[in-house]
Amino acid sequence: MEVADEFLTVVPVRDSKVPQGPALCIEAPAWAAFIGELRAGHHRH
């Protein structure tokens, strides 16, 4: 997975094994919330 961080409003994410493939663009606040949850360990059951 590759994540581009040079954009202000969106975070493009793509499969690093297929770099010419499409990117999923996630709104920056949603990405920040997602990463915050991962760091807090809330993804574990």
pLDDT digits (tens, 9 = 90+) for 17-27: 998 999 999 99
Domain count, the chain: 1
- Banded model confidence at residue 5, pLDDT cuts 50, 70, 90: confident
Residue 13, domain extent: 2-40
CA distance 9 to 19: 21
First to last CA, the chain: 23
pLDDT > 90 fraction of the chain, expressed in percent and rounded: 80
Q: Is residue 45 part of a domain?
A: no
Q: Is residue 14 part of a domain?
A: yes
